Amino acid sequence: MRTELSFATLAGIETELLAVLATDTQTAKGPDAKPAPLLLTNDKAVQAAAAAVLASGEYKAGANETLLLHAPAGLKAKRLLIVGVGKQAKVTVHSVRNAAGTATRFAKPRAIRELTFALPVADSLPIGPSMRAAVEGAFVGDFDPDTYRSDRKDLSVRSFTVAAGAGADKSAVEVAFGEGVIVGESQNFTRSLVNEPGNKLTPTIFGQRAAAMAQEAGLACEVYSTEKLHELKMGAFWSVSQGSAEPPALIVMRYEPKGVTDGPVLGLVGKGITFDSGGISLKPGDNMEKMKYDMAGGAAMMGAMRAIALLKPNVRVIGIVCASENMPDGKAQKPGDVQTAMSGKTIEIINTDAEGRLVLADGLSYAKQLGATHLIDAATLTGACVVALGMINAGAFSNDDATFDKFNEALATSGEKFWRLPLGDEYADMIKSDIGDIKNTGGRWGGAITAAEFLKVFAEDTPWIHLDIAGMAWVEESKPYIAKGPSGVAVRSILEWVRSYGK
Ligand code: BES
Ligand code: MN
Ligand code: ZN
């Protein structure tokens, strides 16, 4: 998708489709209350073109509710699309992100390949953040997952223009626009990886994709395999890989801005299970195909590293992805086995399906060995997290309030929903082992928390955040602004958290 920025007046823009936002200002309640949509533009010609239909009472401007006018009077645009952002009091830049996605997804099935999005004008919508959100939203909306369909029609929007308005502060708007492109493309890069089936994206291929991205974005990148795992004594990581015919990949990406030699080193660690069958503790067949997206945490780290490389914050960052399959085999690990992690801690394997925490344990230790002073991990780690928070919020955990506060602030920019869940010694007790130091499951209750407690053992005293994105990495039902399929969750939030250390 090509993106452009325009400072022309809306009425004069020649385009296949001009999208303008509207908010619902209705305050009266009851069956007779008439819809009161308000266009979020100062352009008199656009207001005139939409006046009659907005007065008709047929359109409410509910969130992502659309209304199309052909040949709008007084405008050079061929079509005028009004996209609702819902109740006026609740409108935020995140509504703008979704509205831009909705406009894009409106255009695609109608083979409208080019559209212009009018940046909304409202007191509650700061221009820079709205601009960035609009561009991100357009990229999010443009993505469809049907890459292997042989009769696939490429319906991507070819050209997306944001009309910032004639009076806009050019330099501020240009910076935000550029950021939106980088972030939107990076999130879609992550989504395209998550979308790949396990046979097309083995750990080795995952490593190759990381290396190619790193080369393009200007990151240092090394991809290791079995030998390196043995050399580093990554007994936890290897225990997951040992039962697979596909070798593991230990992917290390480094962002080292020139002149930055002290201050924090941020370690980003992602779970990269390219297929999770459960191993010997085999999963039931129903929905097992979904477990191709068990590398979404790793892919999120790659997308974040891409955006970091291009946006160049003043802080050093190391990205580590622990990529492996989890398969049953004669060589696979068994329940009851005891493994020794890189840190020296011994782990009793209760359930081979609790594999994510095993690969992450050694990934966290390695990030620390490479100098990370702060850690963040992302993983499709537990079904229990989905039970707790549904598919609305992802889970978040931390051993350090100050570090978590920074992450929470990042959410205001990213618009992503993470809910902090507790840790505590009583939960840590649930993963004590009779034979070794810890066991890899803590029973049925509080499963997302005991998984986090397991990781905390390896983060040790280093400030650390754990993101459980099991319920959020895959969109189960299409929405007006995003297709069913991989979401790219966590890329934007991790990026903003990183930037908060080096702006
Ligand atoms: N990859 C799964 C978790 C998952 C579940 C991701 C649903 C996405 C959607 C993970 O490896 C797993 O199998 N976890 C087990 C842990 C249990 C054995 C303690 C689970 O959640 O059931
Ligand atoms: Mn599993
Ligand atoms: Zn898994």
DSSP 267-334: EEEEEEEEEE--TTSPPPSTTGGGGGGTTHHHHHHHHHHHHHHHH--SSEEEEEEEEEEE---TTS--
Which pLDDT does position 168 carry in this prediction? 78
CATH number, domain containing residue 314:
3.40.630.10
CA distances 116 to 15, 74, 86, 184, 271, Å, are 7, 16, 21, 17, 38
Q: Are strands 37-39 and 18-24 parallel, antiparallel or unpaired?
A: antiparallel
Say whether both 427 and 372 belong to one domain: yes
| Residue 234 scores a pLDDT above 80 | yes
The Cα–Cα gap between 61 and 37 comes to 6
Over 80: is that where the pLDDT of 1 sits? yes
Ligand nearest to the CA of 468: 1
Q: Atom 17 (ligand 1): residue with closest C-alpha? A: 354
Mean residue pLDDT of the chain comes to 97
> If you measure from the C-alpha of residue 357 to the centroid of ligand 2, how many angstroms do you get, rounded to a whole number?
9
Is residue 78 located within the same domain as residue 24?
yes
Which residue among 275, 282, 349, 381 has the greatest number of ligand 1 atoms within 8 angstroms of its CB, and so is best to mutate? 381
User: Are 59 and 149 in a shared domain?
Assistant: yes
Q: CA-to-CA distance for 364 and 386, rounded, in angstroms? A: 23
Give distance in angstroms: CA of 354 to centre of ligand 2.
Answer: 5
Indicate whether 121 and 41 sit together in one domain: yes
| 375 and 478 within one domain | yes
Strand pairing class (394-398; 418-420): parallel
Q: In angstroms, what is the span from residue 67 Cα to ligand 2's centroid?
A: 44
Q: Which structural domain range is residue 112 located in?
A: 2-168
Which pLDDT band holds residue 343 (cuts at 50, 70, 90)? very high
User: H/E element holding 14?
Assistant: none
How far is ligand 1, taken at its centre, from the CA of residue 223, in Å? 26
Answer whether residue 175 is part of any domain.
Answer: no
Catalytically annotated residues: 283, 357
User: Could you say which ligand is closest to the alpha carbon of residue 351?
Assistant: 1
By C-alpha distance, which of 287, 462, 270 is closest to 377?
A: 270
Indicate whether 217 and 88 sit together in one domain: no
Q: Are residues 142 and 52 in the same domain?
A: yes
- Strand 316-326 to 265-276 pairing: parallel
Residue among 286, 290, 382 to mutate when testing ligand 1 (max atoms within 8 A of CB): 382
Is position 277 within any domain? yes
Q: What's the rounded Cα separation, in Å, for the pair 23 and 45?
A: 18
CATH of the domain at 39: 3.40.220.10
| pLDDT, average across residues 419-430 | 98
In a domain, residue 174? The reply is: no
Closest residue by CA, ligand 1 atom 14: 382
Q: Rounded to the nearest whole angstrom, what is the distance from the C-alpha of residue 4 to the centroid of ligand 3? A: 40
- Tell me, yes or no, whether 345 lies in a domain: no
Position 59 confidence tier, pLDDT thresholds 50, 70, 90: very high
385 with 455, same domain: the answer is yes
Q: Whose CA is nearest to atom 22 of ligand 1?
A: 383
pLDDT digits (tens, 9 = 90+) for 145-203: 999 999 998 899 999 999 998 777 899 899 999 999 999 999 999 999 999 999 999 99
Which amino acid residue places its CA nearest to atom 8 of ligand 1?
Answer: 470
Closest ligand 1 atom to residue 383 Cα is 21
CA of 289 to the centre of ligand 3 (A): 12
Q: Which of 152, 168, 184 is the last residue of a domain?
A: 168
491 within domain boundaries:
yes
Determine what percent of the chain is predicted with pLDDT higher than 70. Answer: 100
On whether both 38 and 128 belong to a single domain, the answer is: yes
Domain assignment of residue 180, yes or no: no
Count the neighbouring beta carbons within 10 Å of the beta carbon of residue 237.
Answer: 28
- Inform me whether the pLDDT recorded for 270 exceeds 80: yes
How many folded domains does the chain comprise? 2
3-state secondary structure of 387: helix
Question: Do 289 and 234 have their domain in common?
Answer: yes
Look at residue 186 and tell me if it is in a domain.
Answer: no
Instruction: Specify the range with the lowest mean pLDDT, choosing from 164-168, 354-358, 484-488, 497-501.
Output: 164-168
Residue 188 located in a structural domain: no
Q: Which helix (H) or strand (E) holds 199?
A: none
- The half-sphere exposure of 467 on its side-chain side, counting CA atoms within 13 A, is 32
Give the pLDDT band of residue 265 (cuts 50, 70, 90): very high
CB 498 within 8 A of CB 313: yes
Atom number of ligand 1 nearest to Cα 451: 19
Tell me the average pLDDT across 395-419.
Answer: 98
Closest residue CA from atom 7 of ligand 1? 383
202 and 148 fall within a common domain: no
Same domain, 139 and 215: no
Please say if the pLDDT value at position 32 is more than 90. no
pLDDT band, residue 446 (cuts 50/70/90): very high
The tens digit of pLDDT for each residue in 330-340 reads 999 999 999 99
Regarding pTM above 0.85, the answer is yes
Ligand 1: nearest atom to the Cα of 384: 21
Amino acid at residue number 204: T
- The binding-site residues of ligand 1, defined as CB within 6 angstroms of any ligand atom, are 276, 294, 351, 353-356, 380-384, 386, 441, 447, 470
Q: Where residue 136 falls among pLDDT bands split at 50, 70, 90?
A: very high
